[in-house]
Amino acid sequence: MRTLKLDKDDETIPYCYDDNQLYCASLTVQYGTNDDKCGVFGDDYKNSIPRSNENGVVE
């Protein structure tokens, strides 16, 4: 995420441009489909583990 990238001086850290979208897919999905569950870092709970942000970068 942005803060991680700003804290490090390492060019190998991938930059996340989608960190404004870490909202559990959407309110409808979080509360309607996933029974109020959300992935650890705001990913869709129903996605397989490791989810995109659990690997360190949104793909």
pLDDT band at 7 (very low <50, low <70, confident <90, very high): low
Query: How far lies 33's CA from each of 9, 19, 28, 41, 56, in Å?
Result: 40, 22, 7, 18, 25
For range 15-34, the mean pLDDT: 78
Is the alpha carbon torsion for 50, 44, 7, 59 positive or negative?
A: positive
Identify whether the C-beta of residue 4 lies closer than 8 Å to the C-beta of residue 11.
Answer: no
- Res 58 pLDDT > 50: no
- 25 phi-psi bin (left φ>0, alpha ψ -120 to 50, beta other): left
pLDDT of 18 above 70: no
1 has pLDDT over 50: no
pTM (predicted TM-score)? 0.54
**pLDDT tier for residue 25 given thresholds of 50, 70 and 90:** confident
What pLDDT, on the 0 to 100 scale, is given for residue 44? 87
